Structure 1
Amino acid sequence: MTAGNIPSTDDLEKELLGFLEGHTGTPWESETDLFRAGGLSSLFAMQLVVHLEKSYAIAIRGADLRLDNFRTVRQMAQLVGRLRQSDTEALDG
C-alpha cells in the first residue's frame, strides 16, 4: 500500500487479477480485453462492480459505469485509483 492507504495501481492490478482468476479459473493479463476474451459476462461485471465498491470503499456511479472502465484490469485499477484519490481530496479540501 502507498501513503494514505491508497493501494498503488500495481497492487490493485495484482488483487484484481487474483479475484478474476479465482472466479473464472483462468489466469489473466492486466491489458487483456476481458469482454473480447470472454472473461466477463454482464452478470459477472456487476459482481465485479460490487467487489470494487466493497473492497476499496468507493462508489461507482453514472459515467464511471462505462464499459471502457472495466475492459481491462489496468483500466479497473486506474478507475479505483481515481475514485479513491478524489474521495481523499474531497475529505482534505
Structure 2
Amino acid sequence: MDAIKQSLSAYLKKFIQKEIAADDEIITSGLVNSLFAMQLILFIEKEFSLKIGNEDLDIKNFNSLNAISRFVGNKKGLTI
C-alpha cells in the first residue's frame, strides 16, 4: 500500500503546490477541481492497470490519499 501512496503522492505533487497529508480531503476541500479529478482517475487506471466503472465513481473513493490507496488496494485484491 505504501507504493500506491507514494505513486499517488508524486502525481499530486506535480499539480498541487501544497504538502498533502494522507487524510487531507483533496476534492471536497477544493484543492482540485472536477477536471483534475477526472485526470486523476485516468492516471489511476493507467498507473495501476485498473478499470474504474461508473459504480466506483464515488467521492469517498477519491477524496484523500488514504481513500484512493484503499480503493486501489481493494480493486487489486490486496490486503489492507
* Greater fraction helix: 1
Match of 1:57 in 2: 49
- Unpaired runs of 5+ residues, structure 1, are 1-8, 87-93
Q: Is the 8 A contact 1:17 1:27 kept in 2?
A: no
- Matched pairs, number: 78
Q: Is the 8 A contact 1:20 1:26 kept in 2?
A: no
Q: Is the 8 A contact 1:17 1:29 kept in 2?
A: no
Match of 2:8 in 1: 16
Q: 1:71 aligns with which of 50, 63, 69?
A: 63
Matches of 2:47 and 2:3 in 1, distance apart? 13
Bigger shift: residues 54-63 or 44-53: 54-63
Secondary structure of the residue aligned to 1:78 is: helix
Match of 1:26 in 2: 18
% identical equivalent positions: 26
Cα offsets for 1:21-45 (capped at 9, x unmatched): 1112222111001123322210000
Secondary structure of the residue aligned to 1:25 is: coil
| Higher RCO, Cα 8 Å, sep 6+ | 2
TM-score of the superposition, structure 2-length normalised? Answer: 0.88
Task: Give the greater-gyration-radius structure (CA).
Answer: 1
Q: What's the C-alpha RMSD, in Å, of the aligned pairs?
A: 1.4
